[in-house]
């Protein structure tokens, strides 16, 4: 169901996140403590998607959580050679969160006073109470 009125306007804020250092613990956390090949939660290790012996680096985008069984099966092969697929593509943590914060009444009044409300906003704003 679509709401026809928005009681308050929102301002979008970009907030810096705490920097996560690359570690075994943080890789396991990012991957939800489950194997990225089979979803197992037992006997977890860290796997290089591109093996270190083939130039794969110790970086967020090349490391995934893997159970020892899948890690052994993949071995020193690429995903294609091992005929294996990842459940999701490994990514580093975001540097920023985008959050929406309601405008205060005074900020809303200031916008209205200085710039006037854009015509297209009016359909979404609550009208005067009857």
pLDDT for position 2: 36
Q: What domains are defined for the chain?
A: 24-82 (1.10.30.50)
Evaluate if residue 123 carries a pLDDT over 90: no
pLDDT tens column, 65-119: 999 999 999 999 999 999 999 999 999 887 776 666 666 777 667 766 766 666 7
pLDDT for position 14: 66
pLDDT tens column, 13-70: 666 665 678 999 999 999 999 999 999 999 999 999 999 999 999 999 999 999 999 9
CA-wise closest residue to 96 among 9, 5, 12, 2: 12
């Amino acid at each position: 169901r679509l709401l026809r009125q928005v009681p308050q306007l929102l301002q979008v804020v970009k907030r810096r996140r705490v920097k996560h250092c690359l570690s075994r613990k943080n890789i396991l956390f990012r991957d939800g403590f489950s194997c990225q090949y089979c979803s197992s939660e037992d006997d977890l290790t860290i796997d290089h998607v591109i093996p270190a012996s083939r130039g794969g680096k110790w970086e967020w985008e090349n490391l995934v959580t893997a159970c020892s069984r899948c890690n052994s099966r993949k071995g020193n092969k690429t995903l294609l050679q091992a005929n294996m697929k990842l459940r999701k593509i490994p990514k580093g943590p975001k540097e920023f969160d985008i959050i929406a914060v309601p405008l205060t009444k005074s900020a809303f009044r200031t916008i209205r006073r200085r710039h006037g409300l854009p015509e297209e906003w009016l359909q979404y704003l609550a009208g005067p109470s009857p």
